[in-house]
Amino acid sequence: MKKSRMGLSVLALLSASALALTGCAPGEPAAEDESTGDASAIITTNGSEPQHSLIPTNTTESGGGKITTSIFAGLVSYTAEGEIENEVAESIESEDAKTWTVTLKDGWTFTNDEPVTSDSFIDAWNYGALYDNAQSASYFFDNIVGFSDVQNTKDDPSGAVDEEGNPVQVGDPLAETMSGLQVVDDTTFTVELSSPEADWPLRLGYTAYSPLPKAAFEDMEAFGENPIGNGPYMLDGEGAWVHEEKINLVTNPDYDGVRKPANGGLEIIFYATQDAAYADIEGGNLDVLDAVPDSALETFEDQFGDRAVNQPAAIFQAFNMPYYLPHWSGEEGKLRRAALSQAINREEITDVIFQGTRTPATDFTSPVIDGWTDKLEGAEVLDYNPEEAKKLWAEADAIAPYNETFSIAYNADGGHQAWVDAVTNSIANTLGITAEGKSYPTFAASLEDRANDKLTGGVRAGWQADYPSMYNFLAPLYQTGAGSNYEDYSSEEFDNLLKEGSQAASVEDATAKYQEAQEVLLKDLPSIPLWYSNVTGVSADTVDNVVFGWDSVPLYHQITKG
């Protein structure tokens, strides 16, 4: 397939006077082959073991996200191009972009026959936001009135403070539910935001905003192992999820949304390596692969012809240096981060290792996202500049000599070893230090050490967008205390610019603030941007109608087989 730039026209849906998303028709299936295939056929594809159980508000990585997106339906869903269309919502309307009225379609049920109501959404969102529940996606609700009350507890009455001078918090949160969420009736509820946000509906296709049945709250831990959804697929009975091996999904017979499956289900196999998955698709044992290994990048398009895809996607690759490690905070840390960045020959690596399937990064987002630019002030820190890198490293050594082995941790099941070796070699050769990769067997294992501050060096830090917005590339990763800000970056200047952008009266004003916020990141470099990824995937001749979306994930429901 030819490379294509996917535009995002979703904001055209929002009018100036009454911001509304109403009456969207189901998307047309993007099919080159008109055959309908075998409606009972199971599609086999690759995946990875989820980091946590399958609770939508605690699933923020791609392995679990691929599954939860398939078994839950939210208010809206995304087309291949990243536009939103209504799923459970009949309409999402606002006169001021601050108070939104959500009306649900009649007739939606979970797979246990429980109706999907306003409470299904409000209860799920309140659960996800409540501090005590420790949900990794809780920050997605931070713009709803009352979020701070379900996150914050009372100050210790003794006046005790922590080592940074902040009041010690004790007791229960100030509230159990967010006051900005109000039920009107079974199919209508309102959402009050803390400030106007014109593109708020754009968020709502992300799985954190999924509804939950009452059964979930009886035993959330058990529910996460065998979730009850309302989406196009559901778990194939007891034992459907074989940990570290695979998960089997079948179609939900009661689903009647815009993602109606053209097949009978999915078998998502958790491969230890991408090379093993590629060998299976070459051997006829896999239908769809959404990530071609480095070893095949030079040949996969010739080998698979029109069943190969190489197109831009909302994927950003970087590596991070934890602030809690010696040498990586304060002025010394800032100098070393800039030195590392300018010691990396991104052009050479993307050409030699990735064969033109990656593009050197010039910011912290993606070229397929509206607002992207390669003209940010300070972006020269992302250029290969060996002389400047050595100079900055020497200035850092003058503060505190660096006598350690530099490392970048990566997950072996994601096919990252080749580029990590290339990056560490570039750093070693430029700075004259010892540098190497550190392998973890699985993505979940590397995330556990990131989440628990146990890293001993740098770490791979890719990001696949949850929804098509610049904000989604910035807030989850770099906002103080955000769920995916594992390396503990904190900047009041960045946080303020991000907040101003989210509250801007127009998309243009918001974009300007997000670009300013990125210029702060270019100075601090909490993350070292490397490149933007294309989705490189292939499908076997056993299947047709394989379309890869804006976020690199195949639209599984469209795939036909047999």
Q: Among 496, 508, 502, 516, which Cα is nearest to 471's?
A: 502
CA–CA distance, 277 with 163 (Å, rounded to integer)? 49
Q: What per-residue confidence (pLDDT) applies to 6?
A: 29
Contact 445, 411 (CB under 8 A): yes
N-term to C-term CA, the chain? 22
pLDDT reported for residue 164? 63
List pLDDT tens digits, range 115-138.
999 999 999 999 999 999 999 999
What Cα–Cα distance (Å) separates residue 11 from each residue in 7, 95, 298?
Answer: 11, 15, 38
Element at 183 (helix H, strand E): strand 181-185
Cα radius of gyration (the chain): 23
- pLDDT for the residue numbered 198: 78
Structure tokens at 374: 């390669």
CB 524 within 8 A of CB 491: yes
List the pLDDT tens digit at each of the 562 positions of the chain. 322 222 323 333 333 333 343 333 333 444 444 457 899 999 999 999 998 999 999 998 889 999 999 999 999 999 998 889 999 999 999 998 899 999 999 999 999 999 999 999 999 999 999 999 999 999 899 999 999 999 876 655 666 666 666 666 666 678 999 999 999 999 999 999 998 887 899 999 999 999 999 999 999 999 999 999 999 999 999 899 999 999 999 999 999 999 999 999 999 999 999 999 999 999 999 999 999 998 999 999 999 999 999 988 899 999 999 999 999 999 999 999 999 999 999 999 999 999 889 999 999 999 988 899 999 999 999 999 999 999 999 999 999 999 999 999 999 888 899 999 999 999 999 999 999 999 999 888 888 899 899 999 999 998 988 888 899 999 989 999 887 899 999 999 999 999 899 888 777 888 999 999 999 999 999 999 999 999 999 999 999 999 999 989 999 999 999 8
Q: How far apart are CA 397 and CA 394, in angstroms?
A: 5
Report pTM. 0.75
Triad 216, 26, 64: Cα angle to 5°: 35
| Percent helix / strand / coil, the chain, rounded to 5 | 35, 20, 45
What does 311-334 look like in DSSP terms, one character per residue? EEEEEEEEEE--TTSTTSSHHHHH
The confidence score (pLDDT) of residue 67 equals: 97
Amino acid 20: pLDDT: 42
Q: How many residues does the chain have?
A: 562
Domain spans in the chain, listed from the N-terminal domain onward: 10-145+180-287+540-561, 312-535
* 30: CB partners within 8 A, 6+ apart: 80, 545, 547, 555, 558
Tokens of 398: 């003058």
C-alpha span between 1 and 533 (Å, rounded): 16
DSSP 213: -
* DSSP per residue, 452-493: TT--SSEEE--EE-SSSSHHHHHHHHHSTT-TT-TT----HH
Count the alpha carbons within 13 Å of 21 in the hemisphere toward its beta carbon: 29
- Considering the segment(s) 10-145+180-287+540-561 as one domain, its CATH architecture is 3-Layer(aba) Sandwich (3.40)
pLDDT at residue 467, as a whole number: 87
Supply angle C-alpha 241, 242, 245, rounded to 5. Answer: 120
pLDDT at 30 (0 to 100): 40
Distance between alpha carbon 136 and the CA centroid of its chain, in Å? 12
Alpha helices in 343-416 (DSSP H): 346-352, 386-399
Task: Determine the pLDDT at residue 157.
Answer: 62
CA atoms within 13 A on the CB side of 262: 22
Question: In this predicted structure, what is the pLDDT of residue 210?
Answer: 98
Q: How many helices (H) and strands (E) does the chain have?
A: 14, 24
Strand partners, 42: 265
Domain 312-535 bears CATH identifier 2.60.120.200? no
The contacts of residue 280 (CB under 8 Å, 6+ apart) are 269, 271, 286
For residue 211, CA distances in Å to 76, 105, 191, 230, 260 come to 12, 13, 15, 8, 19
482 residue type, one letter:
A
